[in-house]
Copies of this chain bind each other. A is one copy, B any other.
Amino acid sequence: MVLVGEELTELEMAAWRPFIMTATRVIAALDADMKKHFDISHFDHGLLVVLEDQPAQQARMGDIARVMRVDPSNVTYRVRRLEGLGLVKRAPCATDRRVTYARLTRRGKRLLGEAWPVHRRGIRRYFLDHVAPDQLREIADAFNRIMEADPTLTPATQL
């Protein structure tokens, strides 16, 4: 008898399929909202939020890449564009001249303030509005456990 992984049960399929389809769709919808209203992607918005959550509203390029799980070159590219929009400013590090900081500008902070109501409305419409409070608790519990199971998945506020 050959050792094989087991098939998914009906219940497992019933949970997996709606989850993955919803996730794909919600991300796409939030991305479209940010592009339409603020000319930035969902990823750009996430990057600005990472900066906002930092003590001096700045972070090293490499740390941003690690937190957001993307290639450093991608951060270089996105920050260059955000700098062109005046939302972020590059700043050299005084003690280690290899390091470059990306700092949130006043204008970047203002954009985040304007974007939050739009983002929040999306979160509600595409997700929260359809879930009962009891289920919110179950989802919070379950997905927190999934995150904890992967030590490389760190909240954006912890660099």
Contacts and interface: CB of A to CB of B under 8 A. Distances in A.
Nearest to A137: B11
Given A8-B123, A135-B141, A142-B135, A147 B16 contact: no
Contacts of A8: 120, 123-124, 128
Contacts of A25: 69, 150, 153
- Total identical chains: 2
17 contacts: A8-B120, A12-B123, A12-B136, A15-B136, A15-B143, A18-B139, A18-B144, A20-B26, A21-B147, A21-B155, A23-B23, A25-B150, A129-B149, A130-B146, A131-B142, A132-B142, A138-B139
Interface of A: 4-5, 7-8, 11-12, 14-28, 69, 117, 120-121, 123-124, 126-147, 149-150, 153, 155
